[in-house]
Amino acid sequence: MCRFNGDRFYRPAQEFGDFIEYTGSVMFVDPSGKGKDQTAISCVKMLNGNLYVTECLGLSGGYSDAVLERISKIARDNNINQILVEQNFGGGMFAELLKPFLMRFHPCQVEDVRNNKTKELRIIDTLEPVMNSHRLIIDRKVIEKDFRSNPQETPERRLKLQLVYQLSRISRHKGSLVHDDLVDSLAGAVAYWTDYMAQNEDLNISKRKDELLSIHTDNWDSLLNNTISQTAMGMTPQQIRNTNVSDQGFIKDFY
């Protein structure tokens, strides 16, 4: 596979802090019929104004029970809060077919969405600002699964079905991609979070540090009061040190 100059995947420059829950998670489904097209699924989660892609794949089989069940299980595994279904199949029928399977495996909100803007322009206008500002983070497993996907297809078709190929080859010219299902579903999930992207990342990190400082202060006060009580009981400094060996809950545990 040839690649363009500058095409790279970048790891974080540094990692710090503790792991906290995502603000929310959404799945976007781009349904297909019974032809050779695939039903594309993208799961995107949001935290502190950054978007995290935890799943992006295509499923063959149209609207079969196997596909609907797989979508429901993926929603369960990714703890999805809301599913968006592009209304390009049966006027919303796909969402209605999906709901009984979701009731069995992962009850959550399902909403039909309709797009009228030219597909290539919509995809680029959605993804380009997020990617240029380095706010789109893709799980390494997504890339690895994408590389190994569709082994039964010919090399030429297999390549064009991959997310990375579609991301790096799409242009504003209509029909620039033979297959655009995956990048289209990814743009749909990213667009959902557009209203939240104005969040200031540094502000949220600052708030989190204030929370941790409060925890640290509370624990320190507790230890100090405990030490005063032990001194009043006649314990020696060495006995107090031996008793207060745990520092769990202090701020260093979070960094």
Do residues 127 and 188 share a domain?
yes
Examine the pLDDT at 143 and tell me if it is beyond 50: yes
Q: Angle at CA 181, nearest 5°, toward 177 and 183?
A: 80
Average pLDDT over the chain, rounded to an integer: 83
- The residue ranking higher by pLDDT, 232 or 70, is 70
Examine the pLDDT at 71 and tell me if it is beyond 70: yes
Maximum C-alpha span of the chain: 83
Examine the pLDDT at 120 and tell me if it is beyond 70: yes
Do residues 218 and 101 share a domain?
no
pLDDT at residue 52 in the model: 96
Q: What is the pLDDT of residues 202-230, one digit of tens each?
A: 677 777 778 877 776 766 666 666 666 66
Dist CA 105 CA 65 (whole Å):
13
Give the domain extent around 96.
24-199
Do residues 76 and 32 share a domain?
yes
Dist CA 165 CA 148 (whole Å):
13
Do residues 63 and 132 share a domain?
yes
Do residues 178 and 229 share a domain?
no
Give the pLDDT band (50/70/90) at residue 29: very high
Predicted TM-score of the model (pTM): 0.75
- The residue ranking higher by pLDDT, 191 or 16, is 191
When pLDDT is averaged across residues 85-112 and rounded to a whole number, the result is 88
Do residues 72 and 147 share a domain?
yes
Structure tokens at 22: 């995502």
Do residues 112 and 134 share a domain?
yes
